[in-house]
Structure 1
Amino acid sequence: MVYIIYFSGLPTKDPQLDLRLFLEVCDSFRQQGDPEDALRLKLFPYSLQDRVRAWLNAFPSGMMASWNELC
């Protein structure tokens, strides 16, 4: 079973908790030898909704090449 964590930016949502859950999901899919960044960067946009997804989409494509840059 796959759990999808969506963060919408609403004041009632806890971004720290959502991020921790997102990282747990990513780690459960990671194959040995795969870079951590690659999977996280691919999946992260799918964990967002509404205003937060619009915020991320406002950045130029390829601007964030690593997970640390995104953070």
Structure 2
Amino acid sequence: MDNNLGNQQLPLDYSIVRLTSAANNFEINSNTIQMVQQYIQFDGLQDKNSNAHLGNFLEIYNTFKINGITDDVIRLRLFPFSLRNKAKQWLNSLRQGSITTWAQMTEKFLLKYFPPTKTAKLRNDISSFAQFELETLYAA
């Protein structure tokens, strides 16, 4: 079976399409992978902040570049290393080849771990904020 789709190459059972590039023979440094795995693991538990995870991931990502390789290619190859447990299972459960850009990855990730209902609840909490009489602002 030929999995080539123009400039995209689909591995057999993976939700993220491995994009090809002019420099197909590149490798992400194992120290970078270890840094991601050690410092910014996201496990998908409800008390974890998905927005902070993306910010931390991009902070590490922005410390290096690989000449001839687009941001999407590097981010999509590195991001799975930042997930574990339920979050890794979620990524692996997505339809094969369903993610082809970083924008799609972040959209799917945030829909799963920061859904619109959570946004609405936070917005409601902010708009209904009230400081009680004799209560300090800090305590409120």
Report the TM range for the smaller structure's normalisation: 0.7 to 0.9
TM-score by length of structure 2 reads 0.46
Deviation at 1:15, TM superposition (A): 1.2
Instruction: Please state which structure has a larger fraction of its residues in strand.
Output: 2
Structure with bigger RCO (C-alpha 8 Å, 6+ apart): 1
- The answer on 1:7 being equivalent to 2:42 is yes
Is there any run of 5+ residues in structure 2 with no aligned partner, and where? 1-30, 107-140
Match 2:56 to one of 14, 21, 33:
21
Instruction: Please state which structure has a larger fraction of its residues in helix.
Output: 1
Quick one: percent identity of the two aligned structures?
A: 34
Deviation at 1:28, TM superposition (A): 1.3
Aligned residue pairs: how many? 71
Code of the residue aligned with 1:7 in structure 2: it is: F
Aligned Cα root-mean-square deviation (Å)? 1.7
Higher-Rg member (1/2): 2
Tell me whether 48-57 or 23-32 shows the greater mean CA deviation.
23-32
- 1:29 is paired with a residue of what secondary structure? coil
